[in-house]
């Protein structure tokens, strides 16, 4: 099928858009705004739309949140307005609610236990119903358009004699993905939903405690990694130390988003006790075992596919070669205004080395294909650089369904694997051969026990019932309703 014949609206960047990054810290005697800043800085890959930090000295909550990267929002002079030894931080990619400053997190909410600030990574799929219920039951007024505002209202107003009872109440009502950092004026609360869809970990730092989306944030701060939070777990940290409880309704196995293993988490982060880098090497090795091919060199599409390519090359006993150089100072291609500019953006972002490529049979490794924009342009560049053959191997299965739990995965009409066969995609991208990792190979590589990991975007089977597609801007039409 030619490009002109394609019915697919293939646009934007060819990767799932990241989840959000969250950090919480309780370190007596320390200026926590700076600690939170550097924790967020290590999680910038998880969201680039807005950033925010809330802190407390024990009397009230101070907040700064606005659009922009972490380094753009926070300067030295900003830190002076964020005093205290307790704080939470958030860096956002919007998955429900528009990319607007009023949706920048942490969000504040008020209730019988006083004011709280909330940072959220994930997506609550019953937020629309809960908005109506909270307005009727507690008189909640919503003036923002994200599901996080619903979560904040529940935690602020829910009944309970302590945060464990409040969290149990919230978990009974919330459906979907939510790793949370919550703070009062003198306590830090961390929550991971009963499915464990998004990661969250706990560490020690200078006599205090820190929680973060990924262990890479702990490493960046020089913190000691303690453990990953369990699914359905609530942790409360204050001057008396750390207390923890697992909600009684939690399922036996987690259902972590498997894309954390494939792409989202930094390769130097621990997931389920193992470096994501090692898991990604196994993903690459698995796809080669399933779909071997003769080639002269293995090439990864930098940077996210490099570990997968290294693992594939080792399994194939074919040299891994850096044949594509990535300009790390080029902006993300999905911000370009039209398809022509996006295509030119991909060419600006990557530059093939003709002297390495010319006359060679290439085995090109990508971690995933969503719309196909990037891989199509890469194949064209490699052809122009003189590649003799181009064989593409994808270290994840075909993405055939949308995500409902905190990943902007594109619509069904934009997912190329939901609309074309593998053979049609191969012709469309211009490769000599194309093969994807099987779902069974994926689960072997991530060493998943039965019923662990959400693979809904590959299989259409989700850990809880979901509607076919969700509109992340559904609340934008009538905020406050």
The per-residue pLDDT for range 322-337, each reduced to its tens digit, is 999 998 775 544 333 3
**Can you give the pLDDT at residue 367?**
97
Average pLDDT, the chain: 90
* Shared-domain flag, residues 70 and 212: yes
| 129 and 244 inside one domain | yes
Instruction: Identify whether residues 207 and 316 lie together within a single domain.
Output: no
Of the pLDDT bands very low, low, confident and very high (cuts 50, 70, 90), residue 450 is: confident
**For residues 101-138, b (16+ Cβ closer than 10 Å) or e, as one string?**
eebbbbbbbebebebbbbbbbbbbbebbebbeebeeeb
Per-residue pLDDT tens for 150-195? 999 999 999 999 999 999 999 999 999 999 999 999 999 999 999 9
Question: What's the pLDDT score for residue 334?
Answer: 37
Show the domain range for 437.
275-448
Q: How many domains does the structure of the chain reveal?
A: 2
Residue of higher predicted confidence among 349 and 289: 289
User: Residue 297 pLDDT more than 70?
Assistant: yes
Confidence of residue 94 (pLDDT cuts 50, 70, 90): low
Give the pLDDT of residue 92: 87
Q: How confident is the model at residue 17 (pLDDT cuts 50, 70, 90)?
A: low
The yes-or-no verdict on residue 18 having pLDDT over 70 is no
More confident residue, 372 or 10: 372
Report the pLDDT value the prediction gives residue 467, as an integer from 0 to 100: 64
Q: CA-CA distance, 449 to 395, in Å (whole number)?
A: 20
* Helix/strand/coil (H/E/C) assignment for every residue in 396-451: CCCCCCCCCCCCECCCHHHCHHHCCCHHHHHHHHCCCEEEECCHHHHHHHCCCCCC
Task: Establish if 465 belongs to a structural domain.
Answer: no
| Residues β-bridged to residue 363 | 298, 391
Average pLDDT over residues 337-361: 75
Q: What is the C-alpha to C-alpha distance for residues 228 and 215, in angstroms, rounded to an integer?
A: 9
| Together in a domain, 337 and 215 | no
Identify the CATH number of the domain in which residue 72 sits.
3.60.20.10
How much is the average pLDDT of 454-480?
A: 70
Residue 20 annotated as catalytic:
yes
pLDDT tens digit string along 208-253? 999 999 999 999 999 999 999 999 999 999 999 999 999 999 988 8
Both 231 and 378 in a single domain? Answer: no
pLDDT at position 399 over 60: yes
207 and 110 in a common domain? yes
Q: What is the pLDDT of residues 302-317, one digit of tens each?
A: 999 999 999 999 999 9
CB atoms within 10 A of CB 160: 15
Question: Considering only 17-21, 22-26, 87-91, 383-387, which range has the smallest mean pLDDT?
Answer: 17-21
pLDDT at 348 > cutoff 90: no
Question: Is the same domain home to 154 and 294?
Answer: no
* Residues 225 and 361 both lie in one domain: no
Give residue 449's pLDDT: 81
pLDDT at position 409 is: 73
User: Is a pLDDT exceeding 60 seen at residue 101?
Assistant: yes
Residue 150 is predicted with a pLDDT of: 97
In tens, the pLDDT along 27-43 reads: 999 999 999 999 999 99
Residue 334, judged by CB atoms within 10 A of its CB (0-12, 13-18, 19+), counts as: middle
CA angle, residues 438, 439, 443, in degrees to nearest 5: 115
Verify that 248 and 324 share a domain, yes or no.
no
| Residue among 20, 201, 403, 454 flagged as catalytic | 20
């Amino acid at each position: 099928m030619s490009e002109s014949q394609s019915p697919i609206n293939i646009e934007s960047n060819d990767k799932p858009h990241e989840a959000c990054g969250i950090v919480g810290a309780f370190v007596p005697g320390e200026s926590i705004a700076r600690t939170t800043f550097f924790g967020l800085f290590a999680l910038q890959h998880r969201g680039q739309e807005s950033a925010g930090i809330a802190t407390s000295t024990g009397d009230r909550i101070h907040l700064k949140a606005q659009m922009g990267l972490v380094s753009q929002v926070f300067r030295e002079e900003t830190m002076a307005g964020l005093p205290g030894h307790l704080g939470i931080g958030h860096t956002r990619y919007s998955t429900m609610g528009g990319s607007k400053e009023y949706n920048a997190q942490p969000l504040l909410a008020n209730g019988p236990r006083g004011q709280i600030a909330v940072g959220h990574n994930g997506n609550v799929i019953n937020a629309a119903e809960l908005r109506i219920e909270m307005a009727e039951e507690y008189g909640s007024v919503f003036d923002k358009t994200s599901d996080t505002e619903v979560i904040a209202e529940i935690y602020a107003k829910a009944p309970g004699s302590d945060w464990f009872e409040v969290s149990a109440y919230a978990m009974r009502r919330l459906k979907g993905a939510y790793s949370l950092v919550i703070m009062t004026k003198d306590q830090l609360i961390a929550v991971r939903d009963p499915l464990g869809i998004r990661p969250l970990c706990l560490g020690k730092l200078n006599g205090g405690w820190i929680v973060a989306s990924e262990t890479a944030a702990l490493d960046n701060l020089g913190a000691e990694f303690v453990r990953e939070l369990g699914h359905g777990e609530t942790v409360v940290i204050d001057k008396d130390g750390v207390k923890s409880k697992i909600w009684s309704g939690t399922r036996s196995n987690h259902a972590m988003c498997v894309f954390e293993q494939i792409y989202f988490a930094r390769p130097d982060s621990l997931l389920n006790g193992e470096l994501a880098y090692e898991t990604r090497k196994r993903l690459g090795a698995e796809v080669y075992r399933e779909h071997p091919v003769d080639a002269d060199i293995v090439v990864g599409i930098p940077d996210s596919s490099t570990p997968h390519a290294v693992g594939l090359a080792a399994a194939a006993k074919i040299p891994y070669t850096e044949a594509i150089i990535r300009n790390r100072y080029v902006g993300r291609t999905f911000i370009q205004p039209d398809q022509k500019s996006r295509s030119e953006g991909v060419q600006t972002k990557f530059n093939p080395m003709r002297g390495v490529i010319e006359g060679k049979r290439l085995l090109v490794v990508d971690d995933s294909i969503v719309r196909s924009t990037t891989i199509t342009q890469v194949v064209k560049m490699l052809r122009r650089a003189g590649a003799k053959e181009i064989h593409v191997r994808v270290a994840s299965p075909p993405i055939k369904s949308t995500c409902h739990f905190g990943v902007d995965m594109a619509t069904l009409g934009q997912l190329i694997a939901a609309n074309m066969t593998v053979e049609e995609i191969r012709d469309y991208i211009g490769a000599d051969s194309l093969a994807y990792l099987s779902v069974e190979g994926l689960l072997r590589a991530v060493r998943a026990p039965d019923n662990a990991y959400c693979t809904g975007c590959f299989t259409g089977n989700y850990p809880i019932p979901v509607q076919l597609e969700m509109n992340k801007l559904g609340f934008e039409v009538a905020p406050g309703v």
